[in-house]
Structure formats: structure tokens, C-alpha cells
Amino acid sequence: MLDVLGVERVHTAVGCSMGGMTALAFSMRYPDRVERLVSVSSAARAAPFAIALRSLQREMVRRDPAWEEGRYNSVGPVSGMKKARQLGMISYRSAEEWLTRFGRERVSAERRSNDAFCIDFEVESYLQAHAEKFTGDFDPNCYLYLSRAMDLFDAADYGGSVVTGVARTDLSKALVIGVTTDILFPVFQQEELADALSSAGCDVKFEVLPSLLGHDSFLVDMDRFRPVIGEGFSTQ
């Protein structure tokens, strides 16, 4: 795309979550084409906890009889996708947020069924609502491959370790941002990336933001991110 547009070198490669992995990978594979990097709630490689969660999500989709080994019809594995989305939402947010947002609030009587295991708490209703919205937004096979790609990405594959892999870049500056309550891409992973970039001679700014909104903070707590990212772009 850059070749078609006639762009020889980009000012900044920016990415959040898997997008941060993509921006880092591009910076390592094409070091002469990237000047700076902004990595938000991402990492140089997936941690075992995140791999375990995504493995279970994929299993939920693949165990749905409607998946049919990936040769499903237009409807597809709806039940499996809903379960995967619910587990995903649990990993995207934080326990602290849900304690203040939902507490132990119960759903109204008219929203309950006679099933002893029906939705009884507002947090359960929240998960169900997100599962319903997710259905149809993602092709199941696309979801599986994107999920697996996050597990497989490892900067160490480019040189034997994260440090040597990241050293392939030719970045002048980098901004690495993490969130205290992110359990999917914990702060120690952003610190690992920032340290590796610094070892490669890059001028790195590492920011840890105290948002309660977990991994999804960059989507819903933008007022906390804007000043940091804005300052990062304004710095010459």
C-alpha cells in the first residue's frame, strides 16, 4: 500500500493491542520505512495467560456443532461465538471496574425466567448483551485466525530474543503505553517492550495509566490517553 501511495517512510506506526504487535512487526521487518512507534496496551509477544484465554475462546467456537470444521453455512457457530465473546469481555475489563459499575445489583423480576440458573445479576446481563451484539460482526474463521495470530507473534522470532528482535528496528522515538488494570496485556509486557527498544538505542517514553477499564481502556477512557499521545506526537 505504501509503495502504491509513494510513501517511502512513515512518520509513526501506531497500534493498540494486536495492532501494536502489527506496528512492531512492520518496524522490525521494514526498519528503513518507519521513523517512530506508538504502542498502546500491546506487547512484544503474548503471555501464557492471554494464550490460555484465547485457546479456550477458540475451543468454544470449534466445539459448536454448527462450526462444521470451518465449512459452516451463513449462520455459523453462533452459540460458540457468543461464549467466546463473553469470555473475551471478562478479559477486556477489570474486576475493579465491575465492582464499582455493577456491584451485586440484580436484574428486575420481569427480566428473569423460571430457570434456576437464569440471569440474575446485572453483570450477567451485560455479558449477554455484548454476546448478542457480537454475533454477525465477526466471521468465525476470521476470528479464529486473528486469535491464533496474536498467540504466535513473538519478537524473539526475529533474532532469538525480544531484545535482538527489536534491535532490528531503526526507530528514533517510541511511546509505549500500558494500563494498570490490563490483565490481557499486563504492564510488565509493555515494560519489556520499552526496555528492549531502549536497548536498541531508541528514545523511549514509557507511560503507565491508572485507568479502571482494563485492556479496553484505550477504547473507552480516551480522555486519559489523549494528553499522553498528543504530547508524544508534539515532541520533535
Which of 42, 91, 147, 215 is labelled catalytic? 215
User: What cell numbers appear for 57 in the block?
Assistant: 475462546
Which of 17, 39, 42, 94 is labelled catalytic? 17
Residue 225 and residue 211: Cα distance in Å, rounded?
10
Q: Is 91 a catalytic residue?
A: no
Which of 42, 182, 211, 217 is labelled catalytic? 182
**Considering Cα of 5, then 9, then 14, then 19, what sign does the dihedral take?**
positive
- CA torsion 181→217→57→120, rounded to 10°? 80
Residues 6+ apart with CB under 8 A from 175: 36, 37, 38, 39, 204, 205, 207, 228, 229, 232
Q: Is 182 a catalytic residue?
A: yes
- What amino acid is encoded at 193 in this protein? L
Residues 6+ apart with CB under 8 A from 7: none
156 close to 129: Cβ distance less than 8 angstroms: no
Q: Is 130 a catalytic residue?
A: no
Catalytic residues: 17, 182, 215
